[in-house]
Amino acid sequence: MGPGYVPFALGLVLAGLGVAIVVKAYVAPDPAPGEAPADARANDSAVEDAPVDDAPADGGAPSGRAASDADVLDPRPLAGIQWRPTVAVFAAVTFFAVTVDGLGLLLATFGTGLLAALARRGTGPVRALVIAAGLTLASWVIFVVLLQLRLALVGDWLGG
């Protein structure tokens, strides 16, 4: 058994399972709500008519509603994805990964906090800046002052 044996075998199994899922979707689409994990949650969260703060009301015909859990089993799982939160959160984490060594903890935290805060519809630039600034301070206190983690505050690119 070489190093490639197990990954190769797993790849075949995964491909087989993929085909089975596709076939099953055509032959016998999941009918019972019990089959859907998130469906049940959606059902009970839909019953609850909790106050909705800035719920997405715009965004074109399907996407606004498609965002809710009830549509988790939308036949096109990618269809209801809102780009703003998805891209912003992805960008926020990626920004940290790319800059933490170069810019250092403080600036990386600030940038990540800013991008993440902007992921939410309804958070304006000023509010996002305030959140990011507060977050940078809080991270410094918790991770550097209290937990004494050895993280460079100012990175290599800035001569730290």
Partner 1 sequence: MTPAGPRKTAAYIGALAGLGLILAACSSGADPANYPEDDIDVIVPFSAGGPTDTVTRMVAEPMSEELGVQLVVQNVDGAGGTVGAGQAATAEPDGYTVLMHHIGMSTAPALYDDLAYDPVADFKPVGLVTEVPMTIVGSPDFEPTTFEEFVSHIQENADTVTMAHAGEGSASNLCGLLLMDALGVEVTAVPYDGTGPAMGELVGGQVDFMCDQTTNTTGQIEAGKVKAYAVTTPERIEALPDLPTTAEGGQPDIEVSVWHGLYVPAETPDEVVTQLTDALQVALADQMVIDQMADLGTAPVAADQATPEAHATLLQEQIESWGDIIGAGQGG
Partner 2 sequence: MDLLDNLALGFSEALQWHNLMFCLLGVALGTAVGVLPGIGPTATIALLLPITFGFDDPTSALIMLAGIYYGAQYGGSTTAILLNLPGESSAAVTAIDGHQMARAGRAGVALAVAALGSFAAGTVATVVLAVAAPPLARAALSFGAAEYFSLVVLGLIASIALASGSTLKALAMIVLGILLGTVGQDLNTGTPRFTFGVRELYQGLSFVAVAVGVFGIAEILRNLHDPRSRTRMVSRVANLWPTRAELRRIVGPVIRATGLGSLLGVLPGGGHVLASYASYAVEKRVSRNPGEFGHGAIEGVAGPESANNAAAQTSFIPLLTLGLPAHPVMALMVGAFIIQGITPGPDVMTEQPALVWGLIASMWIGNVLLVLLNLPLIGLWVRMLSVPYSVLFPVIVVFACIGTYSLGQNPYDVLAVAVFGVLGFVLIRAGCEPAPLLLGFVLGPLLEENLRRALLISRGDPSVFVTRPISGVLLTLALIALVVAVLPAIRRKRDVVFAEDE
Binding positions for partner 1, 133-152, rule CB under 8 A? 150
The entry of partner 2, partner 1, none that residue 67 binds, CB within 5 to 8 Å by partner kind: partner 2
DSSP state of 99: H
| Residue 43, helix vs strand vs coil | helix
- Residue 149 binding result from partner 1, partner 2, none, given CB thresholds of 5 to 8 Å by partner type: partner 2
Return the one option of partner 2, partner 1, none that residue 19 interacts with (CB less than 5 to 8 A, by type).
Answer: none
Phi-psi region of 52 (alpha: psi -120 to 50; beta: other; left: phi over 0): beta
Q: Find the binder of partner 2 among 103, 106, 107, 119 (CB under 8 A).
A: 119
Whole-number Å distance between alpha carbons of 110 and 118: 12
Q: Residue 151 CA to chain centroid, in angstroms?
A: 25
**How crowded is residue 9: how many other Cβ atoms within 10 Å of its Cβ?**
11
Binding to partner 2 (CB under 8 A) within 25-84 occurs at: 30, 32-38, 40-41, 43-45, 48, 50-56, 67-69, 72-74, 77-78, 80-82
| From the list partner 2, partner 1, none, partner contacted by residue 154 (C-beta under 5 to 8 A by kind) | partner 1
User: Is position 106 an interface residue for partner 2 (rule: CB under 8 A)?
Assistant: no
Question: Residue 6 interacts with partner 1 (CB under 8 A)?
Answer: no
Query: From residue 127, how far is each of 80, 94, 123, 156 by CA, in Å?
Result: 27, 22, 6, 30
